[in-house]
Homo-oligomer: A and B are copies of this chain.
């Protein structure tokens, strides 16, 4: 029988206006999962509730025998096993990580890919070795401009067979803040398989695609990396032939813990009449969040939420809260974040063909029954 990989691995597309979520998108949604929004109550997301996005399969990777190679434009090529990495002083950073495609399924037209609504996020304590420590060991040649990270997950995507690979500009790779980690623990335990066991990159402030899982190689290059995940995927494009700009740091977003209790199927919230404290988290990978506002009339009017003071975890979400008095009827609750760079969440969708960085404000439908 004839055939080629391109027949089963087709270009990206937009859903037709009347097209529901496709079986392929559902298959991705059943594998990958978001943060149930009530889990926003935890400062650090418990295991199994942090969002997960795996491009291909979770590799069967054992810590015993795992090797991380560091090469390319370095003075001395090095190989580390887990024991060697654990021999360096351990560093822990609390990091809010978000999928670049979070919010994609709410776009019109909808890019067909992992169909996140708003829940592709989580916060963890990542422990490992700073990347700059490893690169200080190997030495860096003066002509190095990028570090390319290769994971062990293998697949085909839009017709291109590949190991998952992403790069960082050298300045980001060795910068002191955010400090990039080669991490071997999540929340004080070895990485779970789906989060990159036994090693992953953690790039505080950047969308999830930069945090390469099942990390097995770091290669410094004298020219910018042009691999699929850098030059084809993860770019802000308005059309298929637009070269686009790269997706990098996380845009500001606030999410609310949906108040009251849900209807199983519609997920509409039921809230009793009376005082109701609205609470949630807000984050930005670009600059500290400076303001959160809440709206209870579908975003027509906004009022200030109280933002928790800075707690030293500059790359993690911050708690916010705002009082509300529920009155009988239907309401749409929203929250929006502003960061120190002046970026504020938009009220109209920031559309691009890949569905990246859609930080349109959340809408939480609430029903307050007249009889309490």
Q: Report which A residues bind B (CB closer than 8 A).
A: 1-5, 7-10, 19-34, 36, 38-39, 41, 46-50, 52, 54-58, 60, 105, 112-113, 115-117, 119, 154-158, 161, 192-195, 258, 261-268, 270, 328-330, 365, 367, 369-370
Contacts and interface: CB of A to CB of B under 8 A. Distances in A.
A365 B23 CA distance: 14
B33 A32 contact: yes
Given A56-B262, A265-B24, A3 B329 contact: yes
A26 B24 contact: no
A127 B319 CA distance: 35
A261 B9 CA distance: 12
Nearest to A119: B30
A58 B39 contact: yes
A52 B46 CA distance: 14
Contacts of A8: 263, 266, 268, 270, 365, 367
A195 to B, nearest CB: 8
A58 B33 contact: no
A112 B265 contact: yes
A25 B26 CA distance: 9
Instruction: Name the residue among A105, A115, A264 with the largest chain B CB count within 10 angstroms.
Output: A264
A30 B33 contact: yes
Copies of this chain, count:
2
A57 B9 contact: no
B46 A1 contact: no
A1 B328 CA distance: 6
Contacts of A267: 24, 27-28
A228 B330 CA distance: 26
Contacts of A32: 33
17 contacts: A3-B328, A9-B268, A20-B20, A24-B265, A24-B267, A29-B30, A30-B116, A31-B36, A39-B193, A46-B192, A47-B47, A48-B192, A56-B261, A154-B261, A156-B261, A157-B263, A157-B264
Contacts of A195: 48
Nearest to A329: B1
A192 to B, nearest CB: 5
Instruction: Name the residue among A25, A38, A161 with the largest chain B CB count within 10 angstroms.
Output: A38
Contacts of A158: 264-265
A66 to B, nearest CB: 17
Contact of A193 (B46, B156, B262): B46
A330 B26 CA distance: 22
Given A155-B264, A265-B10, A268-B8, A36 B57 contact: yes
Contact of A156 (B9, B194, B262, B330): B262
B26 A263 contact: no
A20 B24 CA distance: 11
Contact of A29 (B19, B29, B193, B263): B29
Please list the 8 inter-chain residue pairs (A to B) with the smallest Cβ-Cβ separation, ordered nearest first.
Answer: A20-B20, A1-B329, A33-B33, A48-B48, A21-B21, A157-B264, A8-B268, A29-B29
A56 B192 contact: no
B367 A5 contact: yes
A57 B38 contact: yes
A268 B266 CA distance: 31
A276 to B, nearest CB: 15
Contacts of A261: 56-57, 154-156
